[in-house]
Chain A
Amino acid sequence: MSVEPLWTEVAGPIITGIGMLPKNTAPSTIGAPTIEKETRAEEALDLPWHVVVHNDPVNLMSYVTMVFQRVFGYPRDKAERHMLEVHHKGRSILWSGMREPAELYVQQLHGYLLLATIEKIA
């Protein structure tokens, strides 16, 4: 059984984020900003990342399912599939996408005391 994330899920937060960009409605009175040169390789920035949850024998199955529902907004059956994959295979990829939202997801999961990491997609 595979519960790899769908790529539509990956695009979700990015598309949502575009709508939040401020509109340039008035001319700026300050000088043009200095654009710092990005030091990280472009390739490293573009590579998508996985959010991985690892097995932990202490966390309750029902608790882990609830966390997946809350953090990722997954329906119960999908959250349970991921929870069972963690339980049986030792890990499950919960989400894939750009680094920044991936880090935020991991932060939320750590807030619920789950063992979660981000991994660069090979």
Chain B
Amino acid sequence: MEIRRRKNQIEISELDPFLSELLRQIPASANTQGAHAAEQRIFSAPAKGKEAELCAEWKMYVEPELRRLFQSATQTVGSDLEQLNGNEKSLANRTLRIPTKHADAWLSALNQARLVIAAKNNFTELELNDHLRSPIGSRRDLSLFQVNFYGFLQEFILRELEC
């Protein structure tokens, strides 16, 4: 896989079918439905302790806004990822081009996906810092690889935004 900036696009080329599939899974991975721990993390309380009134108002007025914001980001990413659709049986490498104006949506969706996967798997800090762990193994190992791969993309996009 190669990743580079080309004018107003971030180009990820030489994507093998495995990494293409991981990218295609971003919107689904960011979905909190049915996962209480993930829902709790993505829509965390605005105060701790005695601020019950604030928390209730937050749930009623702020949370729907946040849901719309996150949904908009994953939809943008989903539409960019349509470039990877095609012949599912083909083992040819693919190229994905992300317009730089979509960079914020990608940062948001990647972050949300990482948080949701981590919450669903209840990863420890130790596991999250173990970047040398092999992706070949359990479903848990694969999820950890996914979190690290999305983190790598986030880092690259952040670096490009700073340029």
A associates with B: yes
Asked if A60 and B44 make an inter-chain contact with CB atoms under 8 angstroms apart, the answer reads no
If A62-B155, A66-B158 touch, does A118 touch B111 (CB 8 Å cutoff)?
Answer: no
Describe B's contact surface by its main secondary structure.
Answer: helix
Asked if A110 and B44 make an inter-chain contact with CB atoms under 8 angstroms apart, the answer reads yes
Bin the interface of chain B by size: 20 to 34
* Of B5-13, B15-23, B82-90, B112-120, the one touching chain A: B112-120
B26 interface residue per 8 A CB criterion:
no
If A111-B69, A113-B108 touch, does A60 touch B155 (CB 8 Å cutoff)?
Answer: yes
From residue 90 to 122 of chain A, which have CB atoms closer than 8 A to chain B? 103, 106-107, 110-113, 115-119
Complex interface: chain B residues within 8 A of A112 (CB): 108, 111
A111 smallest CB distance to B (angstroms): 6
B28 interface residue per 8 A CB criterion:
no
Complex interface: chain A residues within 8 A of B125 (CB): 57
Cα of A25 to Cα of B48 in the assembled complex, Å: 44
Bin the interface of chain A by size: 20 to 34
B135 interface residue per 8 A CB criterion:
no
Asked if A117 and B62 make an inter-chain contact with CB atoms under 8 angstroms apart, the answer reads no
Describe A's contact surface by its main secondary structure.
Answer: mixed
Q: Mark A15-30, 1 if CB is under 8 A from B, else 0.
A: 0000000000000000
Asked if B44 and A103 make an inter-chain contact with CB atoms under 8 angstroms apart, the answer reads no
A72 interface residue per 8 A CB criterion:
no
**Which one, A62, A110, A113, A117, contacts B158 given CB within 8 A?**
A62
B99 interface residue per 8 A CB criterion:
no
B64 interface residue per 8 A CB criterion:
no
Cα of A59 to Cα of B154 in the assembled complex, Å: 10
Complex interface: chain A residues within 8 A of B155 (CB): 60, 62
Asked if A58 and B45 make an inter-chain contact with CB atoms under 8 angstroms apart, the answer reads no
A109 smallest CB distance to B (angstroms): 9
Offer 22 A-B interface pairs, CB within 8 angstroms, sorted by A.
A56-B115, A57-B129, A58-B147, A59-B115, A60-B151, A62-B155, A62-B158, A63-B111, A106-B46, A107-B62, A107-B65, A107-B66, A110-B44, A111-B69, A112-B108, A112-B111, A113-B42, A113-B115, A115-B44, A117-B45, A118-B51, A119-B48
